[in-house]
Structure 1
Amino acid sequence: MAPDDPSRLDLTADPNHPRRLSRRTLLAATGAGAGIVPLLAVGNPASAVAADRAPATPAPEIRGADISFTLQTEAAGVRYQRNGRTAPLEQVLRSAGANWVRLRVWVDPPAGYSDLTSALRLAGRARRAGLKVLLDLHYSDFWADPGHQDIPAAWLGQDLATLARTVRAYTADAITAFARQGSPVDMVQVGNEVTAGMLWPVGKIYTDVGERWPEFTTLVKAGLAGARAANPRGHRLRTMLHIDRGGDNAGSRWFYDHVLAQGVEFDVIGQSYYPFWHGSVADLTVNLNDLAARYGKPLVVTETSYPWTMANGDSLENLLTDPTMLPNGTAYPPTPAGQAAYFAALRRVLAGVPGGLGAGFFAWEPGWLPGVGWEPGAGNPNDNLTLFDWNGRSLPALDVAYSSAATRLL
């Protein structure tokens, strides 16, 4: 098919273009930078964000953050501050108005990285802070995204039927573990950015011999069934199917049309949206508005972030180094105030989705500060996309993003 055919989801287009590469591919490609740069001075958040005279924007139902690296950043000595007060990350987020966290789980990751035990600890802390939990099951031993959906080593060699049973049992066991410790899961993703399938090669959609939607959706249905079967009686559990096409309406339609045609039943459409990879805020607006009208399901921007600087906090080159990659760079420059303006715009987009279906967003790893690598022994390529400076002090965008009130945003 032609490279611009939405059935290919742009996977055959220029493989070296940043928007075509998975996060893990980009992580692996980053080289050593010029070393640690001095910390930037960040002023008073109240003075950094100008008041807007536009009508007040309602707060989205879901105002969340992926905090999966938190135990590692704490072990590295990171401490978080807001308004001069130091507290654990989940408490800082809650004080700013956040009401959800997202927790990543890998099946058998490197030691210290996002295993079930770590996620359970963070879920307990989140629940005590008054936050709900979105569980992000990757069904992989390490990073899973559109470019990598590696089957766990312990599951290799299983045929489709056996693998489906494994997925169902694994998902049910995870949901049960959270419920048993008193922090039941409020929403679960069956797979992470499953744009091209999951558990490759068995559940890979795009192959040399054609598209394999039945195989992929068999695995998705197994995960959904396991989650629902293990959910505690009387507890509300929402299910999400998450892809990375926030600014790509044709690609989004192609994916969800095919999944629904296979009889997959899920509650929430999840989209990753990084403006430097997935298009402009206008592209996001068009996509979310169309998906709401087309499917009538709540929409969550499940991953997003924006730079507050183009400087680098450690020796590993950052994923985003070129300000020309920001499609709205003039409106939202890579500064603390520009980052805050981006999150204000995101909230306006969500508020404008027809039918009130713009349910909310999760900032991706806003507390992942220098000191923790994307893999053991590596650096952090994400440290200019956080909601805290490199001293752990909150940036203006933290309060703009998470305010629970209807506010006059930027």
Structure 2
Amino acid sequence: MINPRTTHTPSNRQSGRIRLSGRTLPSGRTLAAVTALALAGTLLAAGPAAAAPGKPSSVGPASVANPGFEAGTAGWSVSGPDGAATVESGGADSAHRLTHYLASDNTVTTSQTVTGLKKGWWTLRASIKSGGPVDSSRLVLSGCGSDGSTVLPSTETDDQWLTLAVSANVAGKCTLSLTTTGAGAWASMDNVTFAEGRVERTFRGADLSGVPKNEDHGAVYATADGTRVDPVEAFADAGANLVRLKVWVNPADGYNTRQQVVEMAKRAQAQGMKVLVDFHYSDRWTDPGAQGVPAAWKGMSAAAMADAVYAHTKDVMAALKAAGITPYAAQVGNEINPGMLWPLGQTWDVDPADGVDGAQWDNLATFLKAGTRAVKDVSPDTRTVLHLTNINNGIGGLTWWFDEVTKRGVPMDVIGLSYYGYWHGTLADLQNAVTTLSQRYGKDVLVVETSYPFTLEDNPNAPWENVIANGSQLVKGYPATPAGQAANFRAVQDVVASAPGGRGIGAVYWEPAWTSVPGNGWDPADPASGNAWENQAVFDFAGRALPALDAFAADDAGTWHRK
């Protein structure tokens, strides 16, 4: 989690991207150009259904006809208003792409039925772009046996292609579709494939670290219709299957200690959810701007501090084991791009006046090894996670860090990333990071922090300016509304799960139950501090569930919050 006090602005984003602005169509073409493209698409469709070079020339089982639309819409069926589905230039890897555009409130669908399929799970993959109203375009598998559907993420921020996948359990045939609905909605598709296998959002997680303190200060949670619920049970019922819990060493308010972590882990396990322990190795928040040493560890040598890391980690892990809990994973550090336990474990000179000069990679490696060893000594089956952030600074900033620790022999099982779309670049940046890191290091990748606002308003019960309070901070295509919040969380999950290479294993929503109650602000040492994140919870200011709770559901599950 980024320090709640820190101010972030859109200027933190990378520049130089292609953007969609002031356009009625995704490519900004004039009406005459659009007409010409539509005519070209018609002419292409009227020609022979020849496959693109290098593509199969005939359609057989699991073969998609004209997957790159190089032969116009040949092999595909189009239903909807005339001209709403066209083939235009600018494909993902080839000359052409399919584009849907609706000038008025209507629906257009482009589909193809594939037959002769072996029974079992099959996955539709495609390169996609989209824009317009929330949830306006979908990839759909229908008539398959058990069907599948997923919303196209918005690419309006950078106009970059994403890979999107959706799976279905097939009984012999299946219809592959792109469908677009609503005035101003548009979508593009290219590189369509249909192959055996299944893509899943393996982990649909919630960081519920703040629940004990919130409950102690009077927080109440309810379904959308006002029926009171236990928040941990609510997430489990909604479909969450992983709970993240941070642990501090000796916090001023007495929360997020070993005791609370064990009790919350027991509650999570009782609801059938796995546990991810997040070791901060501090008495308070750690992030790229703060990696403070616990008060009791100050003045230690690097060797003594490594021993303290081991002892603290082992103590918490042993307490969990004694309670009958085997965590799925444990983070050794939190957002540790700049290192941890400053200045001894810094990765650059964070304070030239502190007497410790330059990067201390060897010390950092020693600390990370100590924490990892403690996790494995107590719980060999628990996976260890190294957690970085700031994808927006470029993939090189992440590979630089992992290269430094891996060449020093630091082990890891999972790569953890923070991704807040209003700070950390685009969904294309996220997907590229998942693919690049998983391939380079041979590890699964889990987004361990993400969130999005459902409003820009501040809860007046304990006023404190929200970290996201202005429309200029929002991600294009995702308004600060309940629907926009839900769509953004689902988009992050789908982009991770669909990342090429298949090593993106899920996403964890950060503090979705941290609603505003007086006394539970961001500063553990100041009861009067406020909550700058309550507009990103998945419960509204009255404590009622929002649609984002549905985004934790497995793909074959129903809707929880409306029951």
Taking the aligned partners of 2:542 and 2:213, their CA distance within structure 1 comes to: 16
Identity %: 40
Q: Flag the structure with higher strand content.
A: 2
Task: Provide Cα deviations, 1:250-307, integer angstroms capped at 9, x if missing partner.
Answer: 2111111111111111100000111111112122122212212222211011100001
**Structure 2 counterpart of 1:60, which letter?**
R
Q: Give 1:54's aligned residue.
A: 139
Change (3 A) 1:345 1:22: closer
Q: Give 2:432's aligned residue.
A: 286
* Aligned counterparts, 1:260-409, within 5 A: 260-313=406-459, 314-326=462-474, 328-329=475-476, 331-371=477-517, 372-375=520-523, 376-400=527-551, 402-406=552-556
* Aligned counterparts, 1:11-410, within 5 A: 22-26=2-6, 53-55=138-140, 56=149, 57=166, 58-84=199-225, 85-207=227-349, 208=352, 209-231=357-379, 236-247=381-392, 248-313=394-459, 314-326=462-474, 328-329=475-476, 331-371=477-517, 372-375=520-523, 376-400=527-551, 402-406=552-556
Q: Is the 8 A contact 1:168 1:225 kept in 2?
A: yes
Q: Is the 8 A contact 2:449 2:508 kept in 1?
A: yes
Q: Is the 8 A contact 1:63 1:100 kept in 2?
A: yes
Change (3 A) 1:311 1:158: same
Give 1:24 deviation, angstroms: 4.4
Bigger radius of gyration among the two:
2
Q: Is the 8 A contact 1:173 1:230 kept in 2?
A: no
* Secondary structure of the corresponding residue to residue 384 of structure 1: helix
Give 1:347 deviation, angstroms: 2.1
Q: Give 2:89's aligned residue.
A: none
Taking the aligned partners of 2:490 and 2:312, their CA distance within structure 1 comes to: 38
* Secondary structure of the corresponding residue to residue 314 of structure 2: helix
| Structure 1 vs Structure 2 CA RMSD | 2.2
* Secondary structure of the corresponding residue to residue 536 of structure 2: coil
Q: Is the 8 A contact 1:246 1:301 kept in 2?
A: no
Taking the aligned partners of 2:358 and 2:342, their CA distance within structure 1 comes to: 15
Give 1:139 deviation, angstroms: 0.5
Give 1:26 deviation, angstroms: 1.7
Give 1:408 deviation, angstroms: 12
**Structure 1 counterpart of 2:370, which letter?**
A
Q: Is the 8 A contact 1:49 1:396 kept in 2?
A: no
**Structure 1 counterpart of 2:206, which letter?**
A
Task: Provide Cα deviations, 1:154-206, integer angstroms capped at 9, x if missing partner.
Answer: 11111111111111111111100001011222210111111101111111121
Q: Is the 8 A contact 2:432 2:499 kept in 1?
A: no
Q: Give 1:45's aligned residue.
A: none
Moved more, 364-373 or 340-349: 340-349
Q: Flag the structure with higher helix content.
A: 1
Taking the aligned partners of 2:322 and 2:469, their CA distance within structure 1 comes to: 44
TM-score (norm: length of structure 2): 0.62
Change (3 A) 1:111 1:53: closer
Change (3 A) 1:49 1:391: farther
- The higher-RCO structure (CA 8 Å, 6+ apart) is 1
* Secondary structure of the corresponding residue to residue 391 of structure 2: coil
Give 1:387 deviation, angstroms: 0.9
Change (3 A) 1:252 1:406: farther
Task: Provide Cα deviations, 1:90-120, integer angstroms capped at 9, x if missing partner.
Answer: 1000011000100011100012421111111
Taking the aligned partners of 1:404 and 1:59, their CA distance within structure 2 comes to: 8
The aligned length equals 364
Q: Is the 8 A contact 2:201 2:494 kept in 1?
A: no
Q: Could you tell me which runs of 5 or more consecutive residues in structure 2 were left unpaired when the two chains were aligned.
A: 8-132, 141-148, 150-165, 167-198
Give 1:52 deviation, angstroms: 5.4
Q: Is the 8 A contact 1:59 1:406 kept in 2?
A: no
Give 1:153 deviation, angstroms: 0.8
Q: Could you tell me which runs of 5 or more consecutive residues in structure 1 were left unpaired when the two chains were aligned.
A: 1-20, 28-47
Q: Give 2:56's aligned residue.
A: none
Taking the aligned partners of 2:416 and 2:535, their CA distance within structure 1 comes to: 24
Q: Give 1:30's aligned residue.
A: none
Change (3 A) 1:348 1:406: farther
Taking the aligned partners of 2:540 and 2:360, their CA distance within structure 1 comes to: 45
